[in-house]
A and B are shown apart, each in its own frame.
Chain A
Amino acid sequence: MGRTQGGIDPARRRFLESAARGVAGVGAAGTLLALHAREAEARAPDAIRPPGALADERAFLSACVRCGLCVRDCPYKTLTLSALGDRKAAAGTPYFTARDIPCEMCDDIPCVKACPTGALEHSLRDIAKARMGTAVLVDSENCLNWLGLRCDVCYRVCPVIDKAITLEIERNERTGKHARFVPTVHADACTGCGKCEKSCVLPEAAIKVLPLHLARAKSADHYRKGWIEKEKNHGPLVPGVEGLPQRLPEAPK
């Protein structure tokens, strides 16, 4: 092989050229795909994952092979496989829309059993422990119970009635002589099945299931609730401080 004026062997030059072409091409396509992967992690707030779904969206997308076996084994046709371009959830992944068909919370959880990869965690055996999301009473101004009527439908249909949703009795200030039965969600018991959202009688539901990260606040790690600490300690935390100091002025003698 003769040398060119640049002093580079032509065979070597060809190799370097094709290597550069390959790396550049795959690099450019790969970057676009990685960007697309980031965007595909976005999920519509009303697209609820099946029971047992890995909570972190990225972890879920590392495990879900988009085979649709969970969708097939759902006896109530609750689950949908997101179609390409459907923008609710990453293409091919399962979700449900509570307002359309909520989760019926089967005892044997067939969707989880059908999942071959564990994107739906097989350690979930008790459906009451599922945390698909949590119900939030998003619009108290339109909720009939908040207005003082006895609708109660969300409370009545709740599969975890009296634990996930309770009716808290308050004074109805408007009438001045009635009670209001305020539907109150307790997230520690709510599975996010969505039956409350489905059955809300309003044209647009006043109670909705939201993904946990949207529905829930997180208390700061260093916060302490005095009354709980006091109970744990079986008494006041600072000895000798029993009540408030006496601030009344001394009575004139």
Chain B
Amino acid sequence: MTDAAVSVRKPNLKARAPVAARARRVKGFWATNKWLILRRLSQAGVLALFLTGPVFGVWIVKGTLASSMTLNTLPLTDPFMLAQSLAARHWPEGLALLGAAIVIAFYALVSGRTYCSWVCPINPVTDAAHWVHDRLGLNKGWQPKPNTRLLIMIAMLVLSALTGVIVFELINPITAVYRALLFGGAWAIGLVAAIFFFDVFVSRRGWCSHLCPVGAAYGLIGAKSLVRVVAPKRAACDDCLDCYAVCPEAHVITPALRGADRGLPPVILDRDCTACGRCIDVCSENVFRFSHRFDTREETPILQPMKASA
């Protein structure tokens, strides 16, 4: 690379290199895809824990993501499901209450929306949809307001209260996919396909980042979580915008990455962050890493030639 070529590294959206191309050159394949691969392994691993029972007769986790029993000792229950049940005026047995309490405690600590990026089976679907959307060069389409999913979440609770039944379960694609895989049923494919095509053609990142009330609920649970993505080397950012391109909730990056002037800490504190770690992967300057919410340390970069010449 010539100096001239390097010095033009400024955001130029028209003539951008493919996302993460530079990170891959600088860091290699593994470091550029580490968190993505770990995340896919986590999603598949959770499903595998459920599947060993019905497929091989080795029961590790019974039930579905709605409510489960691990090794006949650990009960887990989806808190949003239980909230709807309460709104429908059913007081549950202790087992479900305990299960929900454990789930809430875990995600309150480890960032609520890690459920979305590390567990939920719909995430690979919408990630794939986003990839297709990008390849086709489609425009964003319908982009509902950021608080839409909260509105939907509240609407589900109100509807549960009005109808007296757990309303979102009628269409919940997350549990429908798990039930289909574990207990059978083909119609869930239709539901998954609907979300896929909705995300490709109607609304870029429409379902997971704008509408899903389960994600909204987990976001609220983890609003003050300990585990966070931080940007200690934000001063090294070269404005390539790759992190924005891969982030499913791009608005969460700005305060941490660009907030130095406003005195904001280099920590992604927004509850919408799914802690997927994709920004860590694709950054050639290693700006981001996983840490905790009180980690406000900043690393001053060694001045590089191109910065000096700019």
- The answer to whether the Cβ of B169 comes within 8 Å of any Cβ in the partner chain is yes
Question: Is the CB–CB distance between B165 and A58 below 8 Å?
Answer: yes
Binding site for A on B (CB under 8 A): 53, 59, 62-64, 66-69, 75, 77-78, 81-82, 85, 88-93, 95-96, 99, 144-145, 148, 151-152, 155, 158-160, 162-167, 169-171, 175-176, 179-180, 182-188, 191
**Which of A29, A71, A83, A122 touches B93 (beta carbons < 8 Å)?**
A122
- Determine the interface band of chain A, counting residues with CB < 8 A from chain B: 35 or more
Closest residue on chain A to residue B98 by CB atoms: A116
Whole-angstrom distance between the Cβ of B185 and the nearest chain A Cβ = 3
- The answer to whether the Cβ of A45 comes within 8 Å of any Cβ in the partner chain is no
* Interchain CA distance A216-B162 in the complex, whole Å: 29
Question: Is the CB–CB distance between A37 and B90 below 8 Å?
Answer: no
Instruction: Given the known inter-chain contacts A34-B163, A69-B63, please indicate yes or no for A18 contacting B169, CB distance below 8 A.
Output: no
11 more contacts with CB within 8 A, not counting A63-B92, A92-B66, A118-B93, are: A22-B145, A58-B163, A61-B166, A62-B166, A63-B90, A68-B183, A69-B68, A72-B62, A85-B186, A91-B169, A116-B99
* Interchain CA distance A82-B85 in the complex, whole Å: 19
Closest residue on chain B to residue A19 by CB atoms: B145
- The answer to whether the Cβ of A115 comes within 8 Å of any Cβ in the partner chain is yes
Closest residue on chain A to residue B185 by CB atoms: A83
- The answer to whether the Cβ of A33 comes within 8 Å of any Cβ in the partner chain is yes
* Interchain CA distance A92-B191 in the complex, whole Å: 14
B63: chain A residues within 8 A (beta carbon): 67-69, 72
* Interchain CA distance A51-B69 in the complex, whole Å: 20
Closest residue on chain B to residue A122 by CB atoms: B93
Instruction: Given the known inter-chain contacts A58-B164, A59-B90, please indicate yes or no for A65 contacting B77, CB distance below 8 A.
Output: yes
Interface string of A19-63 (1 = CB under 8 A from B): 000100110011001101110110000000000000000110111
**Which of B67, B93, B164, B185 touches A67 (beta carbons < 8 Å)?**
B67
Whole-angstrom distance between the Cβ of A148 and the nearest chain B Cβ = 45
Question: Is the CB–CB distance between A67 and B66 below 8 Å?
Answer: yes
A81: chain B residues within 8 A (beta carbon): 179, 183
Which among B68, B82, B85, B165 has the highest number of chain A CB atoms within 10 Å?
Answer: B165
Total CB contacts across the A-B interface at under 8 A: 153
**Which of A37, A62, A63, A83 touches B180 (beta carbons < 8 Å)?**
A83
B53: chain A residues within 8 A (beta carbon): 72
Which among B67, B160, B191 has the highest number of chain A CB atoms within 10 Å?
Answer: B67
- The answer to whether the Cβ of A187 comes within 8 Å of any Cβ in the partner chain is no
The 17 listed contacts between A and B (C-beta, < 8 Å) are A22-B151, A36-B170, A41-B165, A62-B166, A65-B82, A67-B66, A68-B182, A83-B184, A83-B186, A86-B185, A90-B170, A92-B175, A114-B69, A116-B77, A117-B77, A117-B93, A117-B96
Whole-angstrom distance between the Cβ of A76 and the nearest chain B Cβ = 16
Closest residue on chain B to residue A72 by CB atoms: B62
Question: Is the CB–CB distance between A18 and B145 below 8 Å?
Answer: yes
* Interchain CA distance A2-B67 in the complex, whole Å: 54
Closest residue on chain B to residue A113 by CB atoms: B95
**Which of B62, B75, B89, B179 touches A62 (beta carbons < 8 Å)?**
B89
Question: Is the CB–CB distance between B90 and A117 below 8 Å?
Answer: yes
Instruction: Given the known inter-chain contacts A68-B183, A69-B62, please indicate yes or no for A116 contacting B85, CB distance below 8 A.
Output: no
- The answer to whether the Cβ of A8 comes within 8 Å of any Cβ in the partner chain is no
Closest residue on chain B to residue A71 by CB atoms: B183
B191: chain A residues within 8 A (beta carbon): 84
* Interchain CA distance A61-B92 in the complex, whole Å: 12
- The answer to whether the Cβ of A156 comes within 8 Å of any Cβ in the partner chain is no
Whole-angstrom distance between the Cβ of A246 and the nearest chain B Cβ = 62
- The answer to whether the Cβ of A66 comes within 8 Å of any Cβ in the partner chain is yes
Question: Is the CB–CB distance between B75 and A26 below 8 Å?
Answer: no
Question: Is the CB–CB distance between B155 and A115 below 8 Å?
Answer: no
B75: chain A residues within 8 A (beta carbon): 116
Whole-angstrom distance between the Cβ of B90 and the nearest chain A Cβ = 4
Question: Is the CB–CB distance between A34 and B96 below 8 Å?
Answer: no
Whole-angstrom distance between the Cβ of A69 and the nearest chain B Cβ = 5
* Interchain CA distance A69-B89 in the complex, whole Å: 22
Question: Is the CB–CB distance between A34 and B162 below 8 Å?
Answer: yes
